């Protein structure tokens, strides 16, 4: 019997549980949202909101508490990830850490760097939390995150999947006329996020596909002749 064991242990040791919670919280502050199982999202949600509450204070003591609870690591945005993957090992080391060995705190490129080869440097997760994430919730008394259940399940154990994201940090729906790159399930999730934010869902009109097919392959040109019509023309010509 599990006497005097509060909370969800998730079949992990205490050290593994703390490491998992820290890594998922760092990824959430870095990208704005993460996809995980529903039970993990419920487990780390209070931990994330506690960190945001401390970050809102903006004091030295709160920063020290955040570093003790969360640790720190270098963070690269998704837009810069492709450039980072194409760099050499020496350039990656310069992006992640400075010459003194410390992580780049504010993400400012040093003057001694070649701006053409290295146009960005990594940020500190703690700096990003205090300087970028916390000010967005300055007038919000709690409830900084939300959990959105996904229709799919994880392959293997069939666990329920969920999307844990910061309020106001969700992905925007695709613009009208843009090429569709998301599936139906993903589009339903995006529409649900927009409804929670008080926006109208943006979906493709039903008649757009029929109009496109009626217009032809090259916008107004007549479709190619079928075999029957082509054969009929040949018979008339022979006559």
What confidence score (pLDDT) does residue 224 get?
52
The whole model's pTM is what?
0.67
Q: What is the spatial distance between Cα 225 and Cα 223, in angstroms, rounded to a whole number? A: 6
Closest CA to 108 of 97, 96, 94, 122: 122
What confidence score (pLDDT) does residue 235 get?
46
Q: What is the spatial distance between Cα 154 and Cα 142, in angstroms, rounded to a whole number? A: 30
Q: How would you write the chain as a 3-class SS string?
A: CCCCCCCCCCCCCHHHHHHHHHHHHHHHHHHCEEEEEHHHHHHHHHHHHHHHHHHHHCCHHHHHHHHHHHCCCEECCHHHHHHHHCCCHHHHHHHHECCCCCECCCCCCCCCCCCCCCCCCCEEHHHHHHHHHHHHHCCCCCCCEEEEEEEEECCCCCCEEEEEEECCCCCCCCCCCCCCCCCHHHHHHHHHHHHHCCCCCCCCCCHHHHHHHHHCCCCCCCCCCCHHHHHHHHHHHHC
Q: Which CATH number is 7-73+124-169 given?
A: 3.90.1030.10
What confidence score (pLDDT) does residue 19 get?
95
Phi, psi of 148 (to 5 degrees): -115, 120
What confidence score (pLDDT) does residue 20 get?
95
Exposed/middle/buried for 68, CB within 10 Å: 0-12, 13-18, 19+?
exposed
Q: Alpha-carbon torsion 50, 142, 104, 19, what sign?
A: positive
Q: Alpha-carbon torsion 62, 140, 166, 82, what sign?
A: negative
CATH 3.90.1030.10 positions along the chain are 7-73+124-169
Instruction: For the chain, 239 residues long, give each residue's pLDDT as a single digit of tens.
Output: 778 777 788 888 989 999 999 999 999 999 999 999 999 999 999 999 999 999 999 999 999 999 999 998 888 888 888 889 989 999 998 898 887 777 777 888 888 888 888 989 998 999 999 999 999 999 998 899 999 999 989 888 889 999 999 998 654 544 555 454 567 777 888 888 888 888 888 765 555 444 444 455 544 454 555 444 444 444 444 44
């Amino acid at each position: 019997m599990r006497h005097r064991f509060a909370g969800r242990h998730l079949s992990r040791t205490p050290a593994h549980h703390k490491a998992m919670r820290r890594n998922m919280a760092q990824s959430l502050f870095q990208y704005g949202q993460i996809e995980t199982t529903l039970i993990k999202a419920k487990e780390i949600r209070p931990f994330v909101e506690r960190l945001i509450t401390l970050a809102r204070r903006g004091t030295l003591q709160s920063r020290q508490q955040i570093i003790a609870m969360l640790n720190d690591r270098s963070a690269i945005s998704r837009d810069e990830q492709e450039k980072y993957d194409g760099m050499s090992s020496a350039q990656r080391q310069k992006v992640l850490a400075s010459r003194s060995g410390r992580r780049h705190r504010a993400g400012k490129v040093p003057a001694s760097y070649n701006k053409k080869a290295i146009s960005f440097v990594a940020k500190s997760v703690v700096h990003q939390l205090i300087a970028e994430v916390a000010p967005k919730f300055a007038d919000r008394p709690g409830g900084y995150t939300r959990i959105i259940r996904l229709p799919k399940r994880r392959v293997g154990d069939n666990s329920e999947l969920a999307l844990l994201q910061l309020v106001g940090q969700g992905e925007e729906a695709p613009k009208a006329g843009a090429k569709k790159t998301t599936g139906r399930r993903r589009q339903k999730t995006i529409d649900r996020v927009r409804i929670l934010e008080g926006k109208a869902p943006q979906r493709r009109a039903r008649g757009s596909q029929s109009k496109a097919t009626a217009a032809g392959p090259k916008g107004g040109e007549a479709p190619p002749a079928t075999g029957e019509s082509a054969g009929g023309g040949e018979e008339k010509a022979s006559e």
